A and B are shown apart, each in its own frame.
Chain A
């Protein structure tokens, strides 16, 4: 029998004390969704099932007790830290869920400069950690645009990636060890080592689990020397987007490791620059010891200038622009006012593909969206994370919400755009999610995304979360509309 809300709250108060169990209605409403439902969020319309409580945990032991209680009684748990999720990962898909907030677990436990690693609790804000390290001449190398918002637990749980990824990698390349709590109360520590070949890499069961398998309480990530004095920036306009992808590919294939390698299409560039006009923009940054940065910048410059239709942009413009790219609470508040005033909303969807199809994915998706979705005001995107075999595409799109209520917006616009993007990506064999996580929205495409390997994901979920209490609906949907998968 399902527990009543009152019983759940009572038990949670027994475990944590009343001051850390929040049942205030406004808090519960705001905790029932994330930025996937941005239009509902700014209108303060809440369509998702209400959680029973938001609880603030302060230790691994408390996480363990809360999870064991939830597991025993089949109560859904939604882990959270920085609350910057944008794919529905924080939606409480079941009535009377417990939102377990780890932002109070915010201690930096050890900075190990000799072994170049830092151990932190899940609620440590990335911005604070990196600022502190930089003061001492080090950096995490992790710099997602949400750096001022996100915390380490969420960053690991979503397989996040930062803007310097081409040099430092994604979070999966940075995590050397961690601690996680499973629904049955098992606390597992994966030790910090440079590499091992002792069976499968079990870190990857935890990294990217999106709160659907376990609760991450502690992580150890690599640190790097911070040498901003050697940074070099390069910027170009390029006439043709296909050539832009080819230029990115050439830089990667020739073996260069810039920290930033980006290609903006003209529409997306117009949001950032006055000077780009109808041109696409290529941006690079070289980081590290000066010998490397000079050689990297010189090599990239030669490669890019070998492509037709390329013009050089003053590197100072690029350097200054880049410094102001991150988003914090102020930008979020400003965005809310703007959406309310104009009914115009901007959203992003990030995917990836190999070099041989990324242009087609980009081009077809943009064309189809402009043809099939009404009221579009901007459709474009950029590639911001490149690899030897391919790159990502970060679609950026804006539309006016016309003739529909905040509740109807998601199915009329956002889900339709996502559907088109996912269809095009699947058609070409790319991945429908590059770094934001599957969340609850794109989870409806999990079968197409995984193909025959869905068996592995499904088995992991059943093995680690047999009672189905961990962030249900994330990774694998609870209900699935076969005929209209994008209506939910």
Chain B
């Protein structure tokens, strides 16, 4: 295991909105411009998990390069500096040329492009969804684009010898533990009580002063952006049969009721 890429999003702290603030404005959007930002909670867990894997790597004598990336505006720079202060090797902000909110396809394409321009990491860690968009699609789309497996609802990861990772995820009401080798995307689910560690002021002075030069990826650069092929709703009906009310009692209920 040589490198881990973690993508994260900076979102408005919606807990700071009062009941009246939730009234949408003329543009049908809730105005969150006045509230402080925060790391998206799932992404915060993801970034902390990256640091823990790196600590484990040190224990095993392996040095793991950590790379954090976000798509957003200047507000994100402080968070990127924090990652540098915490020992990340690289922390990039992709200046997006348009709003990627509610556009998981675009976000995926930008991320794919970013990865293509750099080297393919051994592991990609992403939060399961963002507080403001909540599509939950981006990691799955990206795995498809990169043609690598994707494990969802991950709650723990341990680095083992021989570059294997022991992944614990929630699955069908239980937990599943698997050892995985080879590149994959780990989608971090709900891991209550995980917070990103805090760098000291000395760490900030030493490592967190790097200037963040935004990476620019424009629409034209984007490869593999999803295009709309039709606008018909996908109908996912349950399998079953339609029973008329005349048939309901004699053919379906009567026998069952006799058994009661």
Chain A contacts to B: CB under 8 angstroms = 270, 272-274, 314, 316-317, 320-321, 323-324, 337-338, 340-342, 344, 370, 375-379, 398-400
Contacts and interface: CB of A to CB of B under 8 A. Distances in A.
23 contacts: A272-B36, A274-B36, A274-B75, A274-B78, A314-B34, A316-B34, A320-B16, A320-B21, A321-B34, A321-B35, A324-B35, A337-B192, A337-B195, A341-B194, A342-B196, A342-B197, A370-B201, A376-B201, A377-B198, A377-B199, A399-B200, A400-B197, A400-B198
Contacts of A378: 201
Contacts of A323: 18
The 8 closest A-B pairs by CB, nearest first: A344-B198, A320-B34, A317-B34, A341-B195, A377-B198, A324-B16, A274-B75, A342-B195
B37 interface: yes
A400 B34 CA distance: 30
A341 B193 CA distance: 6
Nearest to A375: B200
Nearest to B197: A342
A324 B17 CA distance: 8
B116 to A, nearest CB: 31
Contacts of B16: 320-321, 324
A97 to B, nearest CB: 34
Interface in B178-213: 192-202
A274 B198 contact: no
Interface in B79-129: none
A416 to B, nearest CB: 15
Interface string B210-235: 00000000000000000000000000
A5 B18 CA distance: 49
Given A320-B21, A323-B18, A340-B193, A274 B200 contact: no
Contact of B78 (A270, A317, A321): A270
Nearest to B10: A274
A324 B201 contact: no
B200 A377 contact: yes
Contacts, number: 54
Interface size, B (range): 20 to 34
B209 to A, nearest CB: 12
Given A273-B36, A274-B36, A316-B34, A344 B197 contact: yes
B199 A274 contact: no
Contacts of A272: 36
Interface in B34-65: 34-37
A398 to B, nearest CB: 7
Contacts of B201: 370, 376-379
A340 B193 CA distance: 8
A302 to B, nearest CB: 25
Nearest to B196: A342
A328 to B, nearest CB: 12
Contacts of B18: 320, 323-324
A272 B36 CA distance: 7
Interface string B13-43: 0001010010000000000011111000000
A323 B34 CA distance: 12
B78 to A, nearest CB: 7
Nearest to A334: B15
A363 B118 CA distance: 44
Contacts of A321: 16, 34-36
Contacts of A375: 200
Nearest to B202: A376
Nearest to A314: B34
Given A274-B75, A320-B21, A324-B18, A398 B36 contact: no
A398 B198 contact: yes
Given A342-B196, A377-B201, 18 more contacts: A272-B36, A274-B37, A274-B75, A314-B34, A317-B34, A320-B18, A320-B35, A321-B34, A321-B36, A337-B195, A341-B193, A341-B195, A342-B197, A344-B198, A375-B200, A377-B198, A399-B200, A400-B198
